[in-house]
Amino acid sequence: MTAKLLVRDVWKAYRTNEGTVSVLEGIDLTIATREFIAIVGPSGCGKSTLFNLLAGFEPPDAGEVLVDGQPIGGPGRQGILITQRGSVFPWMTVRRNLEFGAQHMPTTERDGLIQHYLELCGLIGFEDAYPHQLSGGMLQRVEVARAFMAKPDILYMDEPFGALDALTRLQMRTELLRILNRDSHTCLLITHDVEEALHMADRVVVMSPRPARIKRVLEIPVAHPRAMSHPALLQLKEQILQELGLSVSGAEYDTTSMPRADLVHRRPLRPRNGRALTYMSPAALSPEAAAASGAERFDVVVVGGGPGGASAATILAERGLKVLVLERQHFPRFHTGESLLPALWELWDRLDVTAEIEAAGFVPKQGVTFGMTRSGDEVALLTSEYPEYFPRTYTYHVERSRFDQILLDNARQKGAEVREGWSVQDIIFEVDRARGVLAGPNDGELRHILADVVVDATGRDCLISRRLGWRRPDPALNKVAHFTYFSGAWRRSAEEFFPDQDSIAGAAVTDVHTVDGGWLCYIPLANDVVSVCVVLDAKAAGQIRGGPQERFDHAVASCPRVQEWLRGARPLMPMQTVSNIAYLNDRFVGHGFVLVGDAAMFIDPIFSSGVTLAIRGGIFAADCILDAFQRHDFSEASLKPYEERIRVPMERIFRIIHNWYELLDREDGSNMLLQAQRTPWLRERLIVLLSGGYEKMDLESFMLAASHSAA
């Protein structure tokens, strides 16, 4: 690779009242383009001084520093320094801080870049926040985003995470690697944390005490993502500690030789927000160490007890496998996503849970309406128009806390062991094969649990895919959702759309309305509760002054009908926000593991497909895992049929969703919804697809019909 940074025989000393202090002596180092170098050494040895020279803040006394073959004449945009002290301007919002680093750019380019790094650094929803309103981890995200705004060739990071707590530091390391995987830069990192250096860098440079020389440069032969339990990393850690004079013996790093009691890990302190430490650690002990500790053994471990995980566990346990479900929260737990699809009846029958769903007292749903606020048009799509496609012509608006509880209890009844209030800190890998999990009660001790297959059903936490760097946001679906519950709001009855003999007592419809910058969804629930969700384009949301409540109010105000429905209604909870809604993972399976539900992908809530895809995915994954047990083959190739099967409905709904957002830009007479209002054969196709019948109606014929009708 091309040399980006070349350091030749660099010396540096300072004059003091006590005489001359030599800091750096004879430093030689070559750094390739896009290489990640970590520098470790004793405190005060001269690491930060070396950074000052490399970034052009000071000249060397002797020798030279070359960037792209040219002597560095001073600091510039080609190299940006990030420190633990921080340099965010406290009087500026997050957006203004990012703008400050890009004042030289044309407005269009700058705004696009700001949106890109707000998304990439997880800052959507915080654009208008001031630094004093952010946590330490969020402030460092702002630091990183602002540094990237300058489009630097080189990032100089001087202990950027040193002031953060251990959990946030792990998060930021993982986030930075994810960002660098998307936006390539040459990186230099100063750290006192040897594991941090081994986790992130391509090479580690070990420096001596002052006057500093380079004692050793170590290559890291382990590909990303890295488990710190990897034997090569443990050996490198020992070598570095020996170079620093800190190691007393190599035995302390050999976990397989420890007595069992020493392999029980105490859980670190809980973070300030009270959430359990889940899915954060980049390291897990080897299967050999886990076995030595007397680890529990299951056929399958399912991480997450939501609809996808509970469905997979039900099918697997019913077939006689030893299944463990680990759920971080205690059910019932709050969750949004209440409008269900008729395609679920077939899936509920497969899970043998239909009777429980029918007896739960949920509000029947007999259709969905789409209101075009600007034009005044409304399209009502009713499943009963084509009753031959589904077992029943209705479905439900559900309180997810109750609905999810029914599915998890069903998994228990079918034989799965369910542990609520249990957190999974990491996956146990043997090279690239998942062998189990490191988990424990939320406030208790961690322990090793081994399994032939791990099912990641952790929802948007995306336990495995975040670690492996598989998760990819969809830039075309960069949305922000704000939602809450109301009591005393007006409720629209399904009787408005049905003859008396076809309507169900107490039934409702899901109302979708276009609003400025997006759309909103209005869902009547039981007990005089209405759920209202506003989904906005992230860029449009960023142009609305204020926070989540102001954005929600702005959207409702742009839809007079819903504004009237909510007149006099009382909010039941604070406004909730979800950013970066849509994402997709590069893969859904690996050796010994599968991803289901939101842990695999989350498309967009517009057509209420999330729960259907999660349950369908859980069942598809379970079918494939059962086949794998028949063959006793848990390789990626053996589990791949699950991914191929679930991608078919997923890709179909993806295309319809993209079509929806195109019509939001037009709202003209040629969009697919208004065409369906006028054309029966197109209407049939659309109703079946939006009811979850992705395999019952060919998408290509629907698109062809839509284009033919528009013509």
> In this structure, are 589 and 574 located in the same domain?
no
Is 567 part of a structural domain of the chain?
yes
Which amino acid does the sequence have at 471?
Answer: R
> In this structure, are 515 and 566 located in the same domain?
yes
Q: Of 59-63, 404-408, 445-449, 556-560, which gets the smallest average pLDDT?
A: 59-63
Q: Of 337-341, 366-370, 416-420, 677-681, which gets the smallest average pLDDT?
A: 677-681
Is 101 part of a structural domain of the chain?
no
Q: Nearest to residue 344, comparing CAs of 618, 659, 583, 624? A: 618
For residue 328, give the DSSP letter: S
The phi, psi pair for 467, rounded to 5°, reads -65, -35
Q: What is the DSSP string of 177-219?
A: HHHHHHS--EEEEE-S-HHHHHHH-SEEEEEPSSSB-EEEEEE
Q: Of 222-236, 337-351, 429-443, which gets the smallest average pLDDT?
A: 222-236
* Residue partners of 351: CB distance under 8 A and separation at least 6: 311, 314, 315, 407, 410, 615, 619
> In this structure, are 183 and 233 located in the same domain?
yes
| Residue pair 285/277 in contact by the 8 Å Cβ criterion | no
| Residue pair 538/581 in contact by the 8 Å Cβ criterion | no
> In this structure, are 331 and 436 located in the same domain?
yes
Is 141 part of a structural domain of the chain?
no
* Of 324 and 655, more confident: 324
CA distance to 18, 22, 48, 425, 549, per residue, from 39 (Å) = 29, 19, 10, 28, 45
Is 378 part of a structural domain of the chain?
yes
Beta bridge partners of 300: 323, 453
* Of 254 and 320, more confident: 320
Q: Looking at residue 510, which CATH number applies to its domain?
A: 3.30.9.100
Q: Looking at residue 329, which CATH number applies to its domain?
A: 3.50.50.60
What is residue 279's predicted lDDT score, i.e. its pLDDT? 30
What is residue 132's predicted lDDT score, i.e. its pLDDT? 76
Mean pLDDT across the stretch 626-642?
95
pLDDT score of 250 more than 80 = no
CA distance to 103, 307, 659, per residue, from 341 (Å) = 48, 14, 20
* Of 552 and 155, more confident: 552
Output the six-digit token pair for 372. 């075009």
Angle separating helix axes 636-666 and 680-690, nearest 10 degrees: 130
For residue 338, give the DSSP letter: -
pLDDT score of 205 more than 60 = yes
> In this structure, are 563 and 498 located in the same domain?
yes
Highest mean pLDDT among 26-35, 317-326, 533-542: 317-326
Mean pLDDT across the stretch 285-299?
68
| Confidence bin at 616 (pLDDT 50/70/90) | very high
Give me the chain's average pLDDT, please.
82
Mean pLDDT across the stretch 36-52?
86
| Confidence bin at 384 (pLDDT 50/70/90) | confident
Mean pLDDT across the stretch 621-633?
96
Mean pLDDT across the stretch 196-210?
88
> In this structure, are 520 and 438 located in the same domain?
no
Q: How many CB atoms lie within 10 A of CB 319?
A: 15
pLDDT score of 549 more than 70 = yes
Q: Which residue has the tokens 């896009």?
A: 34
pLDDT score of 662 more than 90 = no
Q: What's the rounded Cα separation, in Å, for the pair 172 and 200?
A: 11
> In this structure, are 465 and 486 located in the same domain?
no
Q: What's the rounded Cα separation, in Å, for the pair 602 and 336?
A: 14
| Confidence bin at 408 (pLDDT 50/70/90) | very high
| Confidence bin at 269 (pLDDT 50/70/90) | very low
> In this structure, are 385 and 484 located in the same domain?
yes
Beta bridge partners of 562: none
> In this structure, are 62 and 173 located in the same domain?
yes
Q: What's the rounded Cα separation, in Å, for the pair 642 and 315?
A: 14
Is 251 part of a structural domain of the chain?
no
Q: What's the rounded Cα separation, in Å, for the pair 534 and 523?
A: 12
> In this structure, are 377 and 507 located in the same domain?
yes
How do residues 464-519 score in pLDDT, each as one tens digit? 988 888 888 777 788 889 999 999 999 998 888 877 667 788 899 999 999 988 99
pTM: 0.62
pLDDT score of 320 more than 50 = yes
Domain boundary among 579, 599, 632: 579
| Residue pair 450/435 in contact by the 8 Å Cβ criterion | yes
* Of 660 and 148, more confident: 660
For residue 365, give the DSSP letter: E
Q: Nearest to residue 600, comparing CAs of 552, 676, 654, 544? A: 654
Could you list the residue range(s) of the whole structural domain that residue 683 is in? Answer: 670-711
pLDDT score of 622 more than 90 = yes
Q: Looking at residue 183, which CATH number applies to its domain?
A: 3.40.50.300
Residues in the chain: 711
Domain boundary among 550, 579, 608: 579
> In this structure, are 69 and 217 located in the same domain?
yes
> In this structure, are 158 and 233 located in the same domain?
yes
Is 281 part of a structural domain of the chain?
no
CA distance to 336, 378, 518, 559, 663, per residue, from 514 (Å) = 20, 10, 6, 7, 10
Is 606 part of a structural domain of the chain?
yes
Number of domains present in the structure of the chain: 4
Mean pLDDT across the stretch 304-312?
97
